[in-house]
Structures are given as structure tokens and as C-alpha cells.
Amino acid sequence: EYRWKGPFYFIQGADPQFGLMKAWAVGDTNNGDDEWGEEIKLAEQAVHAINKLNPKPKFFVLCGDLIHGMPGTQWRKDQEKDLKNVLKNTDPDIPLVFVSGNHDIGNTPTRETIDNYCKNWGDDYFSFWVGGVFFLVLNSQLYFDSSKCPELKQAQDVWLNEQLAVAGKHKYKHIIVFQHIPLFLRKPDEDHDYFNLEKSVRQEIMEKFHKAGIFSDF
């Protein structure tokens, strides 16, 4: 859908993170995620509400931390299974789009953790067009710490440059980027902390986006 066909909407969610609520309540975010009944209820409510929408959203995107269990932890597979059981009840006319977060592939991802994610949820970075709008999904963990898989970060960088070049040849209405870790929370020049990307990395990405017309209002 390269051509603009008029206004539409999509639904964005993030951090269903099955297991977090119990882990947070008991103060053990590493091993306390052995219950996630409340998260199941909340996810079911979200799916029910989305299915009732009319007109339907073009898609439903979940921007990372699908489950709480980090790679290799005890309850991870059960959390993934239960989330899939909830999401499979989403109206089949509403496509699901998944974005990887640190709990999905690790704070320091490896080729193995990314491969496992891709087998479960789909590619860790990709692009698609809807109604003349170009959407990019990025693996932001590769920008956070790619020390164990630098070749994968390089591959995403090459791909992103290619995608922005292709997008520039089309008369797109908008470009929208999805990623788990935001470039910044409030200001482009804010200090780095756990919840944004390091300044030099942020600046490099923002320069690419500016050239492609993204963030043109900042």
C-alpha cells in the first residue's frame, strides 16, 4: 500500500510483560515472576476492546517486553505460551506486529537470543507500508549493547540505510518508527540513562531520520 488513501489508525501497546506484576510486588524482578494471572486478564481485556472497534484498526503493534522472563529463565516458555493464547483471539482481520524488547532478547542480545525471538515472534527488524505510510520496526537492543553480536548491528544499520533510501524514492505521506527503547524521553539532547539510548548512538540515528524527513518538526 504505497499510496495514501486517507486517514486511518492503528493500536499501539507495549510491555504486556507477563510475570512482571508478581516480581515487582515481591521485590524480586529476577526470580519472582512465577505468576501472571493479572497480566492475562489485562491482555484479554485489551484484545476484547480492540476486537469491538469499528472501524477496525489497520494493525495492532506491541512494542516490546512481551514477557518478563529474560532469555534462559525458568518461566519464559510458559509466559510466551500464555501470551500467544490470549493474542490468538485477536480479530484475524487485525494483523499483529511485534517489536523486540530487552526482556525478549536480553539486555545484551546474542545471535542465539535473537534467533529464538525470531522463531517465536517474527523478524526483529522489518518494514511495511500501509495506506501510503512507511513503517519501520527496529531492534533497539542492538543500539543499546551489541557487544556480543556486532555483526548483527552492522547488518541492521546497512538495512536501515537501504530502507530510508527506498522510502525516499516514494511519495510517502509519513514515516513512523517503532522500537522498544526510545531515542529520548523528553528532549533530544537529554542525558543518557536506562530508558533512552546513549547520546552518540541517538545522534547518529537522528541524523539519518532527519535526512529522510523523520522528526522534521523537532
Encode pLDDT of 10-66 as tens digits.
Answer: 999 999 999 999 999 999 998 999 999 999 999 999 999 999 999 999 999 999 999
pLDDT of residue 108: 98
**Which residue stretches of the chain have pLDDT < 50?**
217-218
Q: Rg for the chain (alpha carbons), in Å?
A: 18
CA dist 135 → 28, 125, 127, 179 (Å)? 37, 11, 6, 11
Write the CATH number for 189: 3.60.21.10
Whether 57 is in a domain gets the answer yes
Q: Is residue 79 part of a domain?
A: yes
Pairing status of strand 60-63 against strand 11-13: parallel
The pLDDT value given to residue 218: 43
- Domain for residue 66, yes or no? yes
Q: Is 18:42 a contact under the CB 8 Å cutoff?
A: no
pLDDT given at position 143? 97
**How many domains, the chain?**
1
What is the number of other CB atoms lying within 10 angstroms of the CB of residue 179? 22
Q: Note the pLDDT of residue 215.
A: 66
CA nearest 5: which of 172, 215, 216?
A: 172
The answer as to whether 107 is a domain residue is yes
The x, y and z cell numbers of residue 75, run together, are 518461566
Q: Which three-class secondary structure state does DSSP give residue 128?
A: strand
Alpha-carbon span 12 to 208, nearest angstrom: 24
Containing structural domain, residue 146: 11-212
Among residues 14, 18, 144, which one has the least CA distance to residue 69?
Answer: 18
- Strand-pairing partners, residue 129, are 134
Domain-embedded: residue 114: yes
Q: 102, 65 in Cβ contact below 8 A?
A: yes
pTM, full prediction? 0.95
Domain assignment present for residue 5? The answer is no
The overall average pLDDT reported for the chain is 95
